[in-house]
Amino acid sequence: MKKVAIIMGSDSDLPIVEKAVGILKSFEVPYEVHIYSAHRTPEEAREFSKKARENGFGCIIAAAGMAAHLAGAIAANTTLPVIGIPCKSSCLDGMDALLSTVMMPSGIPVATVAINGGANAALLAIEILAVYDTDLADKLQAKRAADTAAVLEKDRILKI
């Protein structure tokens, strides 16, 4: 199975990344996590992205806050699908990162999830890998069914 890479711009993004890691673990999808910044370690971010396909990755998740150009910078150096997680920082409630990540000019796409959307980033990465992996697709379907059952149980016991 292809691996998922999770790159975060700073260790301060770790609480968001941990949500994605938890999902990948629960699906037994192999992954690597690294701290590479588009502005503090641009060469390392570039090198990782350029070699990601030959190193066995099928998808890259990039988590960053503030002027969050990490996902776009990674996407510029690979044709693997890149999923951006805009991280909420101390000011602007994450709108800065959201717009920086989602508003990619034509030609270099970044699939952007919600602000702090670590779980959905991992689920989208798994959906990408599952296009040609029926076992993984079955696991996704089972999770959907479990989520549905959980909501229906909450409805059943709701007393208000």
141-to-22, 35, 55, 95, 102 alpha-carbon distances in Å: 18, 32, 29, 32, 28
Residue 33 phi/psi, 5-degree rounding, is -120, 135
* Residues 133-152 within binding reach of ligand RP5 (CB under 6 A): none
Residue 113 phi/psi, 5-degree rounding, is -95, -175
Q: Which x/- pattern over 76-115 shows residues binding ligand RP5 (rule: CB under 6 A)?
A: -----------x-x--------------------------
Nearer to ligand RP5, 62 or 136 (CB): 62
Q: How many residues bind ligand RP5 (CB under 6 A)?
A: 10
41 is an interface residue for ligand RP5 by CB under 6 A: no
The only residue of 37, 42, 53, 99 in contact with ligand RP5, by rule CB under 6 A = 37
Nearer to ligand RP5, 66 or 130 (CB): 66
Nearer to ligand RP5, 42 or 139 (CB): 42
Q: Which x/- pattern over 5-24 shows residues binding ligand RP5 (rule: CB under 6 A)?
A: ----xx-xx-----------
65 is an interface residue for ligand RP5 by CB under 6 A: yes
What contacts 65, CB < 8 A, 6 or more positions away? 9, 10, 12, 13, 86, 87, 88, 89, 94, 96, 97
Nearer to ligand RP5, 73 or 136 (CB): 73
Q: Which residues bind ligand RP5 (CB under 6 A)?
A: 9-10, 12-13, 37, 64-66, 87, 89
